[in-house]
Chains A and B, each alone.
Chain A
Amino acid sequence: MPYLYNTPEDQQAMLAVIGAGSMEDLFAMVPAEMRLQRPLAIPPAMSEMELTQHMAALAAKNEHVGSKVCFLGGGSYDHFIPAVVDEIAGRGEFYTSYTPYQPEVSQGNLQVVFEYQTLITRLTGLDVSNASLYDGGSATAEAVLMAVSSTRRYGKAVVSASLHPEYRQTIATYLANLGVEVVTVGTRGGVTRPQDLAAAIDGTTACVVVQQPNFFGCVEDAASLATIAHDAGALVVAAFDPISLGLLKRPGDWGADIAVAEGHTLGTPMQYGGPYLGIMACREKLVRRMPGRIAGQTVDRRGKRCFVLTLQTREQHIRREKATSNVCTNQGLFALRATIYLALLGPQGLRETANLCLQKSRYTAEQICKHDRFELAFDAPTFKEFVIRDRKDRVDELLSNALAAGFLAGVPLGKWYPELGDCFLIAVTEKRTSREIDALIETLSRHN
């Protein structure tokens, strides 16, 4: 086997020191009737060359965003990743280490987490960030739990229908056994109306969850929604798109108390949905309820600045059943990638990236709508994605034809929103060129 050291001679020498007669003897404590008496029924071993060829053949059965032009969004996006991110994050010293339980030999990771936390607080306008959670969906659900426990309001959590449908499903799973009701506020014109939200909130509401820009790509009147929530004593949970903050107001500046995001857009490839980066930041008063690892600054015995994991009395390995969350392994590698990515972009790069997304997506929307078959489903302003209605109501056929022509053209919405069965979501990142955009529109209009 390729990764083992022990030769038969080593094994014999080691067995002799142990005082065991054979390898079989080592498993004497496993009762015989519980042992598997046959080989596992899995395929035989492969050499590196065979494996590489086998995997290449499997990979060749997938279309990818290099073989088809990608206009898919809905929480995962084809953003550009600078080479430095891969090169640095692939260094074994980062890549093959683990949770920094020994700070003396983990200052690299701990400083990266501290830098990551600082970047996230600056990005969100909030006081504290944790070291990462699993993904945007579970981070949103954790934020709701955090709001419930810190407000001690066990009545309901109010979410907008424009929050990512899979995030809403995740929240429902997390709350299913806790007696907290999930109330969904419908949207009108693609956005959450303040009066609709006000009607759904009462004194038992722990929090309001708003996505900005929302699942349809529309920009919400987030500040008004936050005011309504706060007036009722509820907390505001904001799900945001990190790239949008190159242009849009930071969640902390429009009233969010807890901000969560899918952070894969900061330098992590799409990988069919994971592993990704769950971002979470909050106001200082909520920090003791925050899930996950947090790094803090301190000094060593010689007075030198250094970093450690801190506020661990929130966590499962200390508090067990009283912990704020069960999270142990997080997404450290992608916090590192996000830190490198943001270090490379800087404020100007983030702004330019956001602006390219905005300009190109709005150009795409306008060009598509020049064709009678298509219209924008909503009038609200959008950031990098938007919903198109197919007046012929043949979305599946349209997208299937587009795939054949070389485009991953959009995400159909009927699965989550039956009333939008004739609609699909198009996302345009900074990577899309005007030529690709024009070719997409030519393809979509060809089958008129």
Chain B
Amino acid sequence: MRNTRDTKLLFELSESGRRSHRLPACDVPERAVMELLPAGALASAPPALSELSEPQVVRHFSNLSQLNMSVDTNFYPLGSCTMKYNPKRNERVASMPGFADLHPYQPEESLQGMLQLLYELQEYLKEISGLDACSLQPAAGAHGELTALWVASAYFRDQAVVTGGSPVTVKAGEPPAATSKRTKVLVPDSAHGTNPASATMAGFETVTVKTLPSGTLDMDDFHRLLDDQIAVFMITNPNTVGIFEPKMREIADAVHKAGGLVYLDGANMNAILGIARPGDFGADMQHYNPHKTFSGPHGGGGPGAGPICVTEELAPYLPTPVVVREEGSGFRVQGSDSDLETDSSLNPEPRTLNPTHFRLDYNRPKSIGRVRAFFGNVGVLVRAYCYIRTHGPDGLRRVSENAVLNANYLLSRVKHFLPVPQGDRCMHEFVASAAKLKSDKGISAMDIAKRLLDFGFHAPTVYFPLTVKESIMVEPTETESKETLDAFAETLFRITEEDARSLRDAPHTTPISRPDEVRAARQPILAWSEA
């Protein structure tokens, strides 16, 4: 049934002279391009793009789409990625012209609804994190980490001045260069790779702290490595094996006592919404992944967004601009038919002086500046806002409760045949190990992952975290049923009983069998070319 003709590459389908999109005739007096632009700047011909008809384009991409697994079509327990259901209502709302068709440089008085939404989202994120200030600018979780590290760096540079010590000047040609005596970032060995990578980009040296086989921090190693050169301790809590750090208070107190800051990697916020707040358990900064926690569609690799929340002390250093609300300094809204109250009642109060308005604050002298162009990944933020408004306080808590329930249920069903080194309980995800299965029967985590695809399940994350051998990281999320979890556990069990040799050839029923990744890297073909 599979249509292989139409999944040829665009360039193989191309026929000279085919057209899809047609443009209107030019309705202003037209002049020769050569008269308008210098000859040296002009191309001799337009770029060699493919030439296709519209039905061909539709069929091509529709057929390609069917080669993917997705949340809409499959259980997708990809650990650490929170592949939950993406509400369709949010898509319809986000595509309203009043949100989708706004230019980033429109005057603020023409954007009061958008600015209100963004302001309110800042407030919600602060409340959910238990922190004091928010920037919505970063474009993804990793970008949020980087932004927070720049904030920390600016803070320590400032501190060095305030306390009378002269800040160490940045020496050209010696990256990573220090900006104060605090030159290091502490990262557990179980952390996401983005943490150390962000530390390097922000000019810090990464120091790795060990974790114990149980998945929690090795406190001896932590205390040994913590000194007055540590700027930031980046911790993921619940951590990447799905355990809430039992010594979180001790960790945060120790970092603070040493003069450092605690950064919370918010990748796992889906476990603690309304249950515990990073600001309450010692974090000074955190990012959110709204595309995970607040259900933004992952789009085949993105977009995400990476808003960060920080303490009052760090607020002056956040990127510029932030949205502020101004009371009582109303102005006339031109052409608006709606009121500007934060409680958006439907009663129009047109063309009156309004008591409240929202504006972008650029006057932030201590800010690190910009981390990208324009305001942020607003489309993702609009969906996050919808998600939070749909759930309310009770609903968000129930999201986390059910995410944790589903993960623990699956853990309970799986642990009998696939050991879970961290123990009997978890938060929103758990990490099983195929190490024993591999030594006993020759079945690897990769074999299990590939075979699951044959049964219509997307594979869990495998070989991460690096601290667990043959790791299989499972995050079911709250938007899955007991029946699905049962079916998944039964399939997993069945796979562990299969013959190892045949598993090495899995998957058998997918559009392709296992690809030769070594060849792809050794003889890179990164674009199509004729013959």
Contacts and interface: CB of A to CB of B under 8 A. Distances in A.
Partners in one complex: yes
6 interchain residue pairs of minimum CB distance: A59-B98, A273-B374, A332-B301, A333-B299, A177-B203, A61-B113
B18 A346 contact: yes
Task: Select the residue from B65, B67, B301, B340 with max chain A CB neighbours within 10 A.
Answer: B301
A135 B372 contact: yes
A150 interface: no
A183 to B, nearest CB: 12
A408 B302 CA distance: 30
Interface in B491-531: 505, 507, 510-517, 519-521, 524-528
Nearest to B55: A84
A92 B335 CA distance: 38
23 contacts: A5-B481, A13-B482, A15-B405, A18-B409, A43-B389, A59-B99, A64-B97, A95-B72, A95-B300, A118-B9, A177-B204, A178-B175, A178-B203, A181-B172, A249-B42, A250-B43, A318-B193, A327-B142, A329-B140, A342-B49, A344-B21, A362-B31, A434-B27
B384 interface: no
Contacts of B47: 122-123, 125, 245-246, 250, 347, 350
Contact of B375 (A48, A274, A403): A274
Interface stretch (A195-203, A227-235, A304-312, A369-377): A304-312
Given A98-B301, A111-B67, A134-B139, A271 B378 contact: yes
Task: Select the residue from B21, B89, B117, B298 with max chain A CB neighbours within 10 A.
Answer: B21
A119 B397 CA distance: 45
B166 interface: no
B393 A249 contact: no
Given A222-B41, A343-B52, A434-B27, A59 B96 contact: yes
Nearest to A271: B379
Nearest to B426: A29
A88 B392 CA distance: 33
A177 B64 contact: no
Nearest to A381: B37
B527 A97 contact: no
A33 B249 contact: yes
B55 to A, nearest CB: 10
Contacts of A306: 512, 515
Interface in A302-327: 302, 304, 306-308, 310-313, 315-323, 325-327
B93 A52 contact: yes
A104 B70 CA distance: 13
Interface string A56-93: 11111111111110101011101000101011101111
Given A46-B392, A332-B299, 4 more contacts: A62-B111, A323-B200, A343-B57, A343-B61
Task: Select the residue from B106, B411, B528 with max chain A CB neighbours within 10 A.
Answer: B106
A340 B411 CA distance: 42
A399 interface: yes
Contacts of A54: 344, 389
A333 B303 contact: yes
Task: Select the residue from B33, B68, B394, B424 with max chain A CB neighbours within 10 A.
Answer: B68
A434 B458 CA distance: 52
B303 to A, nearest CB: 4
B101 A65 contact: yes
A320 B302 contact: no
A136 interface: yes
A77 to B, nearest CB: 8
Nearest to B392: A45
Contact of B370 (A40, A113, A166, A400): A166
A47 B89 CA distance: 10
Interface in B148-164: 150, 153
Contacts of B139: 134-135, 138, 274-275
Given A169-B370, A247-B42, A74 B105 contact: yes
A106 interface: yes
Given A94-B299, A138-B139, A321-B196, A154 B409 contact: no
Interface string B389-415: 111111111110110111011011100
Interface stretch (B222-230, B275-283, B307-315, B435-443): B275-283
A448 interface: no
A274 B374 contact: yes
Given A92-B73, A328-B141, A320 B408 contact: no
A313 to B, nearest CB: 8
A216 interface: no
B480 interface: yes
A297 B36 contact: no
Given A84-B57, A104-B453, A317 B464 contact: yes
A53 interface: yes
A168 to B, nearest CB: 9
Task: Select the residue from A6, A403, A408 with max chain B CB neighbours within 10 A.
Answer: A6
B83 A98 contact: yes
A340 B57 contact: yes
B357 to A, nearest CB: 10
A29 B481 contact: no
Interface string B99-111: 1111111110111
Interface in B117-141: 117, 124, 127-128, 130, 139-141
Nearest to B106: A408
Given A91-B65, A329-B142, A358 B36 contact: yes
Nearest to B117: A58
A169 B367 CA distance: 12
A418 interface: no
Given A70-B103, A100-B300, A275-B303, A40 B397 contact: yes
Interface string A328-350: 11111111100110111111111
Interface in A90-128: 90-109, 111-115, 117-119, 121-123, 125, 127-128
Contact of A88 (B58, B111, B453): B58
A272 B99 contact: yes
Contacts of B510: 104-105
Contact of A300 (B345, B397, B424, B514): B514
Nearest to A326: B197
B60 A245 contact: no
Contacts of A26: 401, 404-405, 408, 425
A397 interface: no
B397 to A, nearest CB: 7
B107 A325 contact: no
Nearest to A412: B105
B353 interface: no
Contact of B386 (A36, A51, A304): A51
Interface string B34-53: 00111011110111111110
Task: Select the residue from B65, B273, B519 with max chain A CB neighbours within 10 A.
Answer: B65
A420 B244 CA distance: 55
A51 B64 CA distance: 34
Contact of A42 (B28, B124, B299): B124
A137 B372 contact: yes
Given A14-B409, A134-B372, A349 B398 contact: no
Given A76-B374, A84-B57, A166-B373, A333 B300 contact: yes
A82 B57 CA distance: 12
A107 B68 contact: yes
Interface in B430-462: 449-450, 453, 458-459, 461
Nearest to A2: B390
A102 B449 contact: yes
Task: Select the residue from B7, B95, B521 with max chain A CB neighbours within 10 A.
Answer: B521
B375 A326 contact: no
Task: Select the residue from B18, B30, B295 with max chain A CB neighbours within 10 A.
Answer: B30
Interface in A277-309: 287, 293-302, 304, 306-308
B365 interface: no
Interface string B325-339: 000000000111110
B212 interface: no
Contacts of B345: 57
A114 B372 CA distance: 26
